[in-house]
Amino acid sequence: MSWVTIDKDLCTGCGICVQRCLRCFTDRDGEILSHADVETCNICGHCVSLCPTGAITHSLMDMGNFMDVNEDIRLDPDEFLQLVRRRRSHRSYKDRKIPRKDLDKLLEMCRYIPTGSNLQTVEIKVVTNPEKIRAISDACVDYFMETIRAVETQAADFASQGKELPEDLVRMKEFANRYKMMGLAREMGLDPILHKASALMVFHSAPSPSTPKDDCVIAAQTAVLGAMTMGLGTCYIGLLLFAAAASPAVKAELDLPAGNKPHSALVLGYPKLKFMRTIDRKPQKVQWVE
């Protein structure tokens, strides 16, 4: 039994569904047949979306959630470029809660991103509890301070023996020098990891044979741009992923479903600082093949 039903009264035999998906549809002398099943169909919904007469129904999808495409919405490319150029990493936030409806809307935006093989394995943990945000941040700072101490001890041992530092230790030493101030920042009442943001979003996934990291990053970047439309600032927090990969304490604080891996993390809040100018970047390296 096909997952897809074609209403014979509505089908005009135009063959657009066949053109789009030879795996699930066949044109037999003008009669369109569907054979969508676990072997052929990745539940992308393109057949339903493309059908000019609405003749196609997919039994595994919520047909009520296929909206007519609004042709009137036209995003100006220059305005979009301005939006992209205006995005900044914000590390200073007002002490103001983000309304639940806005967070819900961001989650809804993430729901419609593309995912590898349409597997849709992205899960999102949203933390708005300030004590929990603080606890996650503290666990990260503890981990980094321990790591920095260990690196410095190792480097000192090498130096005392007159030995040259191995390459990975040189890299770790550079990292240690860069992040040494973290402990001090915390003592001063700052939050050097999650920046006292109003919300933390962790994009994670169960292991997947496709592209779980890419999918999580696409979801995160969708939330970043969506957040701008709500007056929210964001900042990616790679340090949290770094710490979570190595520290059981950070992993425990994140408390993701067993087996899931965090692939992207963002903090969000109402920015305290207003950027007045967009920022220069290196010219884009491009290889044209024309």
Q: In the complex, what is the shortest distance from the CB of residue 217 to ligand FMN, in angstroms, rounded to a whole number?
A: 8
Q: Does 91 bind ligand FMN (CB under 6 A)?
A: yes
**Options 235, 244, 250, 254; binder of ligand FMN; rule CB under 6 A:** 235
Give the C-alpha separation, 47 to 26, whole Å: 13
Give whichever of 17 and 199 is closer to ligand FMN, judged by the CB atom.
199
Q: Does 133 bind ligand FMN (CB under 6 A)?
A: no
Q: Does 219 bind ligand FMN (CB under 6 A)?
A: no
| Cross-strand bridge partners of residue 127 | 200
Give the C-alpha separation, 175 to 184, whole Å: 16
Give the C-alpha separation, 51 to 125, whole Å: 36
Candidates 20-28, 60-68, 88-96, 142-150; binding stretch for ligand FMN (CB under 6 A): 88-96
Q: In the complex, what is the shortest distance from the CB of residue 82 to ligand FMN, in angstroms, rounded to a whole number?
A: 14
Q: Does 237 bind ligand FMN (CB under 6 A)?
A: yes
Q: Does 278 bind ligand FMN (CB under 6 A)?
A: no
Give the C-alpha separation, 114 to 222, whole Å: 11
Q: Does 239 bind ligand FMN (CB under 6 A)?
A: yes
Give whichever of 51 and 240 is closer to ligand FMN, judged by the CB atom.
240
* Burial zone of 91 (CB within 10 Å; 0-12 exposed, 13-18 middle, 19+ buried): buried
Q: Does 182 bind ligand FMN (CB under 6 A)?
A: no
* Burial zone of 71 (CB within 10 Å; 0-12 exposed, 13-18 middle, 19+ buried): exposed
Candidates 84-92, 106-114, 140-148, 248-256; binding stretch for ligand FMN (CB under 6 A): 84-92
Q: Are 73 and 252 in contact (CB under 8 A)?
A: no
Candidates 57-65, 154-162, 171-179, 235-243; binding stretch for ligand FMN (CB under 6 A): 235-243
At position 107, the amino acid (one-letter code) is L
The enclosing H or E element of 262 equals: strand 261-269
Q: In the complex, what is the shortest distance from the CB of residue 88 to ligand FMN, in angstroms, rounded to a whole number?
A: 4
Q: Are 11 and 57 in contact (CB under 8 A)?
A: no
**Options 236, 251, 256, 270; binder of ligand FMN; rule CB under 6 A:** 236
Q: Does 179 bind ligand FMN (CB under 6 A)?
A: no
Relative orientation angle of helices 130-160 and 167-179, to the nearest 10 degrees: 130
Q: Does 88 bind ligand FMN (CB under 6 A)?
A: yes
Structure tokens at 27: 């044109």
The closest alpha carbon to 199, from 159, 230, 164, 176, belongs to: 230
Q: In the complex, what is the shortest distance from the CB of residue 121 to ligand FMN, in angstroms, rounded to a whole number?
A: 20
Structure tokens at 85: 């150029």
Q: In the complex, what is the shortest distance from the CB of residue 90 to ligand FMN, in angstroms, rounded to a whole number?
A: 8
State how far Cα 36 lies from the chain centre. Answer: 30
Q: Does 89 bind ligand FMN (CB under 6 A)?
A: yes
Candidates 65-73, 83-91, 106-114, 119-127; binding stretch for ligand FMN (CB under 6 A): 83-91
Give whichever of 258 and 279 is closer to ligand FMN, judged by the CB atom.
279
**CA dihedral (54, 4, 116, 246) positive or negative:** positive
Outline where 25-75 has alpha helix (H).
46-50
Q: Which residues bind ligand FMN (CB under 6 A)?
A: 88-89, 91, 235-239, 279
